[in-house]
Amino acid sequence: MQVARRIYLYLVSFISLQIVIMGAMSLGQLLITQGLSGQPGNLGNGDVLRMEFSSGTAALVVGTLAWAIHWGLAQRAVHPDRPGAVDERRSVLRALMLHGVLLVSTWNIFLALAQLVQSMLSALVDAGNGRAAMENSLRTLPVLIIYGCAAAYYWRVRATDTALVGERERVATIRRWYTYLALAGSLAVLVFASADLLRYLWDIVTSYNPPLSGTLISADSLTWIMARIGTGLAIWLFFWLPTQQQVAGSPAEQRALLRKVYGYGLTALAVGMTLVSLGLVLNDGLRLLLGSDPLAASGKTPLTAAGEGLATALAFGTLWAYQRWVLHTDATWLAAEPPRAATVRRLYHYLISAISLSALAGGVADLLYLLITFWLDRAAPTLVSLTTRSETISRDLTLVIVGLCVWVYQWRLLQRQATAPDAPAERQALPRRVYLYLALFASVLTVIGSVGWTLYQVLLTVGTPAQANLLHDLSRPLSAGLVAAVVLIYHLLVMRGDLQARPVVAVAAPEAALPSPAGAVPVLLFVASAAPPATIGALVRNALPAGSHVVAFPAPGLEPPAVDAWLRSQEPPPAPPVETPRGPRLTAGAQPVGAVS
């Protein structure tokens, strides 16, 4: 019942608040437009103005009414005199609503701020454009003021809730969602804009051609890029610096899974963009070497095109390097990596491995096919020139070079971790098994397809004159099948090694009674360690008095709250109150049901 009430109150509060904001912004924009047009108060000037005024006012009135009622009820429920006020302040749904408002407000403030900065820069640079720039600046003010007020108010509400009742883990998770989404968004804008700026400046330096009219460069473009960089950087620092300080002093923040997801997610983006940019530069270079012009359509010079790719790689490469440094620093906070954080790390590495392996295998298969067709065509009357296939060759070579470098680097790292004697969990980890089975799955299907197609083509020719094009037709399935077979065999060997290395853990039969000395009481000890269960069992046994018995079970994914909940479920229910019996009392030495010796 509470949940349904909270869903209703907070959802309606959120929606009505957005309606209030839209209405207020609409009226604000209208006022500014009227003020700038020099005809204030002339609302009768056209149906459009009347419509805008009516819709803005209606939204503001209705939204304010609905928001005031529902938010008022929600705030009344958290009044200190109300029963359940503490639970209400701690509720996840309340946190969702607060942070939802903050997220929407942050995004809109960011966009408006970027436009304001751009307008101000335009006004500074071009005095003749001053009036237009001033108008654009004024139009951002309603957004900044209204969303700013909403954000400030709900930030204060959130701070009050935290100060009064603390922060539970689920509410902390919602807070982290908001923080890391804001961080990811602002950082992505910053890096994309930095790449844009580097490319723009490189174009000016290397391929500048004086224009026929207007000014030498487009101020709109450059000021927009600069505004995105400045605003993105400001918003990112606003969230990042306090987050880093918080992480430095809080084990809970250090262990937070979302921080790992943020870190590895951005790293994956940075890696992808960097490698794609470098790959495109390499591809263009190879095409030029092979005699075709990849830049004919764009009209750019090789120097300009190469520099643009390298500029993008520089911007995203910097992000990659910084994220790696942050992840490395995070790892030094904790004595042992939490299991779920380890899973995120493995997911990242195995995903990169899978993608690079696909690129490598695809490139090798296609190159093999091209080599076979070149060899078959060499005696043909019309030779296929290298130039006509240069686009394909350079693409395949790029895939092979980039794929090979990335896959070898990642796979060696993963194999080193998996075969380390003190880290059996790496070898049996789920992401590793998923990667291996995916590699096997894709390669088996390819082998099946290529063998099947080959057999089909061969059987078609049985009893008929030899087909000159048979080898030609078979070259693609054969090359794909060969590469897939190599991938299949290699990963089968890896999987066999993993299965052979699986530790055997002695687990006590669940029904067997543990021998125990007199007075012994079972104790459940929760240990999170990278050491194997047998080692942990031996260490604990050695630390205990003689005669103690220890059984260690591997329990991957188990967390203390789950154990606690299970133990509580095992407690006998409280006995119902009964009248004092007049019969004989319990004799000495008799034990209540459920006691353990």
Partner 1 sequence: MQSVSTLPTSRPHPDRFLWAILIGIGALLAVAAVTLVLLRQPARDLPAGTPGATVQQFYQAMDARDYAAAYALLSDGMTDKPDEGTFMLNATQNNNPSSSERMVINRETITGDQAIVMVDITYFYNSGPFGGTGEYTSSEIFMLGHETDAWRITKLPYRYQPAPRP
Binding site for partner 1 (CB under 8 A): 110-111, 114, 121, 125-126, 129, 188-190, 192-194, 196-198, 200-201, 204, 209-226, 228-230, 232-233, 244, 248, 251, 254-255, 299, 318, 321-322, 325, 329, 332-336, 526-528, 560, 563-564, 567
Residue with smaller CB distance to partner 1, 132 or 384: 132
CB of 330 to partner 1, least distance (A): 11
Residue with smaller CB distance to partner 1, 333 or 437: 333
d(CA 245, CA 237): 12
CB of 511 to partner 1, least distance (A): 26
Q: Give the C-alpha distances (Å, rounded to integers) separating 175 from 87, 247, 356, 501.
A: 17, 14, 35, 42
Residue with smaller CB distance to partner 1, 437 or 526: 526
Task: Using DSSP, state whether 401 is helix, strand or coil.
Answer: helix
Residue with smaller CB distance to partner 1, 59 or 114: 114
CB of 273 to partner 1, least distance (A): 12
Residue with smaller CB distance to partner 1, 422 or 564: 564
Q: What angle (nearest 5°) sits at the alpha carbon of residue 250, between those of residues 248 and 254?
A: 75
Residue with smaller CB distance to partner 1, 253 or 498: 253
Tokens of 32: 């500014």
CB 5 within 8 A of CB 77: no
CB of 233 to partner 1, least distance (A): 6
CB 112 within 8 A of CB 21: no
CB of 542 to partner 1, least distance (A): 19
CB of 133 to partner 1, least distance (A): 12
Cα 414 vs. chain centroid, distance in angstroms?
Answer: 21
CB 92 within 8 A of CB 170: yes
Residue with smaller CB distance to partner 1, 2 or 329: 329
Encode burial over 77-90: b for 16+ CB neighbours within 10 A, e otherwise: bbeeeeeebeebbb
CB of 394 to partner 1, least distance (A): 24
* Residue labelled with tokens 């290699």: 490
Residue with smaller CB distance to partner 1, 323 or 479: 323
Which letter does DSSP use for residue 575 in this model?
A: P
Which of 319, 322, 300, 321 is CA-nearest to residue 309?
300
Residue with smaller CB distance to partner 1, 14 or 110: 110
CB of 74 to partner 1, least distance (A): 33
Task: Using DSSP, state whether 523 is helix, strand or coil.
Answer: coil
Q: Give the C-alpha distances (Å, rounded to integers) separating 108 from 105, 164, 242, 493.
A: 5, 30, 21, 54
CB of 221 to partner 1, least distance (A): 4
First to last CA, the chain: 45
